[in-house]
């Protein structure tokens, strides 16, 4: 099969022929239909985060089941599925206390004495985040997929596999934003736009989008933002404090930068909560004034929206099919696999909400 391989940090992905194994007892073989190009993949290509190489990247995807292992009962051949990097074991302390997104991943991967899921010319190829969806097929543990209705377009379903669940979940599950609250979202890419939609669905009274690209601020209004602030002048915190009379109750950082994480905390009113969704580069620290904790301000993180994905993802699919969740406008470009490096460049320039790779 064709796959996009990361061989060296800072270098373009290469399209190569990669071999994929047959499903083990608890594994599912999926024909990839679509894969979103997420900023998280870019973090590993640029070296902000490290992953063993060579590796087939990609983690936001949807497809059709081609084959299942002997013990799989949840899906069968022909089912449409969304994949999720939050593969869960179901028996570790995190899973058993309702936090499967933090799963210890016991028994979910092949052992060193087993044949690798991915290989090339007899040598193992690393599987990125238990998925590797920049490929024509995926071989994953059965607990890495969620079955969805065949009425759901798979290019839109792919977005639910990471960005949508991460953004909406951060608002509704991690922060538990109540109706009537004031919200600011920094960064209007796929995750940020999803957070904006999450705030709209939660009934927030004011949703302020922050970005450095005016076109993305306009796009944010189509997803539910009531206001837009261009942060290029460095005054976004002061502007939001003036607009709200002292700051917002909830802020969300969806870029992954030290500076914007600190801004998210600074724009809070007393008692407010800042949730960091973006992946801040390794080695960097976020600094906030200690005195602000005396005003009961909270700084917290969120991974995969704190979601139990087999519960949440079908709900997001239903919201889309009901016309209450906008995924259509989130897809900026539909591209073939060999344009993945251009998609990375577009993302770095802030020119797209999401590029989606389509497979035949």
Residue tagged active-site, from 162, 251, 302, 308: 162
pLDDT score, position 146 = 98
* 312, 278: one domain: no
Claim to verify: residue 151 and residue 278 sit in the same structural domain: no
Q: Indicate the number of domains in the chain.
A: 2
Which pLDDT belongs to residue 350? 83
Specify the pLDDT at position 360: 79
Q: 39 and 120: one domain?
A: yes
- Tell me which of 286, 301, 316 is where a domain ends: 301
The per-residue pLDDT for range 14-42, each reduced to its tens digit, is: 999 999 999 999 999 999 999 999 989 99
Catalytic residue among 26, 39, 59, 141: 59
The percent of residues above 90 in pLDDT, for the chain, comes to 95
Its domain, for residue 78, covers 2-161+306-358
- Catalytic residue (one of 26, 39, 43, 141): 43
Name the helix (H) or strand (E) containing 309: helix 309-321
Contacts 24+ apart (CB under 8 A), 277-280: 277/166, 277/167, 277/170, 277/191, 277/195, 277/252, 277/253, 277/302, 278/39, 278/187, 278/191, 278/253, 278/254, 279/39, 279/40, 279/43, 279/48, 279/49, 280/256
Range from 76-85, 172-181, 231-240, 269-278 carrying the lowest mean pLDDT: 231-240
How many residues can be counted in the chain? 360
Domain assignment present for residue 184? The answer is yes
The CA distance from 31 to 67, in Å, is 9
Marked catalytic residue, from 40, 61, 194, 251: 40
Confidence of residue 235 (pLDDT cuts 50, 70, 90): very high
Q: Is 166 a member of any domain? A: no
Q: What is the pLDDT of residue 127?
A: 97
- Give percent above pLDDT 70 in the chain: 100
Residue 86: partners with Cβ closer than 8 Å, 6 or more residues away: 100, 101, 103, 303, 304, 307, 309
138 and 235 part of one domain: no
Q: Is the pTM of this model over 0.85?
A: yes
Do 96 and 11 lie in a common domain? yes
Active site residue 84: no
Q: Where residue 293 sits, what CATH number does that domain have?
A: 3.40.50.720
- Angstrom distances, CA of residue 319 to CA of 18, 40, 119, 165, 220: 37, 25, 39, 12, 18
Q: Are residues 311 and 297 in the same domain?
A: no
Average pLDDT of the segment spanning 32-57: 95
**How would you label 270-282 residue by residue, b for 16+ Cβ within 10 Å and e otherwise?**
eebbbbbbbbbee
Residues 53 and 89 in one domain: yes
- 87 neighbors 105 (Cβ within 8 angstroms): yes
Q: How far apart are CA 40 and CA 51, in angstroms?
A: 12
Point out the domain boundary residue: 301, 330, 350: 301
Residues 72 and 193 both lie in one domain = no
**pLDDT tens for residues 68-127?**
999 999 999 999 999 999 999 999 999 999 999 999 998 899 998 999 999 999 999 999
Question: Has 38 been annotated as catalytic?
Answer: yes
DSSP string, 197-223: HHHHHHT-SEEEEEES-HHHHHHHHHT
Rounded to whole angstroms, the Cα distance separating 15 from 159 reads: 22
- What pLDDT score was predicted for residue 56? 98
Q: Is 40 a catalytic residue?
A: yes
Residue 80 lies in a domain: yes
Q: Would strands 248-253 and 227-230 be described as parallel, antiparallel, or unpaired?
A: unpaired
What average pLDDT score do residues 239-244 get?
A: 96
Angle between helices 39-46 and 340-348 (to 10 degrees): 100
Residue 49 included in any domain: yes
Q: Which two tokens stand for residue 204?
A: 């927030």
43 is catalytic: yes
- Residues 343, 294, single domain; the answer is no
328 and 285 share one domain: no
- Torsion, CA 312, CA 314, CA 318, CA 323, rounded to 10: 70
Q: What is the pLDDT of residues 192-209, one digit of tens each?
A: 999 999 999 999 999 999
Has residue 349 got a pLDDT over 90? no
182 found inside a domain? yes
Query: What tokens appear for 170 in the block?
Result: 């951060």
Indicate if 207 and 220 belong to the same structural domain.
yes
What CATH number has the domain bearing residue 21? 3.90.180.10
351: pLDDT strictly greater than 90: no
Q: Decide: 238 and 224 in contact? Cβ < 8 Å.
A: no
Q: Are 149 and 217 found together in one domain?
A: no
- Residue 59 bears catalytic tag: yes
Final residue in a domain of this structure, among 268, 286, 301: 301
Rounded to whole angstroms, the Cα distance separating 145 from 80 reads 9
Amino acid 234: pLDDT: 86
State the pLDDT confidence band at 169, using cuts at 50, 70 and 90.
Answer: very high
User: Could you tell me if residue 291 is inside a domain?
Assistant: yes
**What is the rounded average pLDDT for all residues in the chain?**
96
């Amino acid at each position: 099969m064709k796959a996009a391989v990361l061989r060296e940090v800072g270098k373009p992905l290469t399209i190569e022929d990669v071999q994929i194994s047959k499903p083990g007892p608890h594994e599912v073989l999926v024909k990839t239909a679509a894969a979103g190009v997420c900023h998280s993949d870019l973090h590993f290509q640029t070296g902000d985060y490290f992953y063993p190489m060579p590796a087939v990247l990609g983690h936001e995807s949807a497809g059709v089941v081609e084959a299942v292992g002997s013990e799989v009962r949840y899906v069968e051949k022909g089912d449409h599925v969304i994949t999720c990097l939050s593969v869960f074991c179901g028996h570790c302390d995190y899973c058993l206390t309702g936090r499967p997104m933090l799963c210890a991943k016991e028994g979910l991967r092949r052992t060193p004495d087993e044949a690798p899921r991915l290989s090339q010319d007899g040598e193992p190829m690393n599987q990125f985040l238990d998925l590797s969806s920049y490929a024509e097929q995926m071989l994953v543990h059965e607990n890495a997929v969620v079955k969805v209705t065949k009425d759901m377009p798979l290019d839109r379903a792919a977005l639910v596999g990471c960005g949508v669940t991460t953004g909406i979940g951060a608002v509704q599950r991690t922060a538990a934003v109540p109706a009537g609250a004031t919200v600011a979202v920094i960064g209007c890419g796929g995750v940020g736009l999803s957070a904006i939609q999450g705030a709209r669905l939660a009934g927030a009274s004011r949703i302020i989008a922050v970005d450095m690209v005016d076109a993305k601020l306009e796009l944010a209004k189509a997803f539910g933002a009531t206001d837009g602030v261009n942060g290029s002048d460095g005054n976004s915190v002061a502007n939001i404090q003036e607009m709200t009379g002292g700051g917002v109750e909830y802020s969300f950082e969806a870029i992954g930068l030290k500076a914007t994480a600190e801004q998210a905390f600074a724009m809070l009113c007393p008692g407010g909560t800042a949730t960091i969704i973006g992946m801040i580069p390794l080695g960097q620290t976020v600094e906030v004034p200690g005195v602000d904790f005396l005003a009961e301000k909270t700084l917290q993180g969120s991974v995969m929206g704190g979601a139990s994905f087999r519960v949440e993802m079908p709900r997001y699919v239903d919201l889309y099919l009901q016309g209450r969740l906008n995924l259509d406008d989130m897809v900026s470009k539909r591209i073939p696999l060999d344009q993945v490096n251009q998609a990375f460049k577009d993302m770095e320039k802030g020119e797209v909400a999401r590029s989606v790779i389509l497979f035949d």
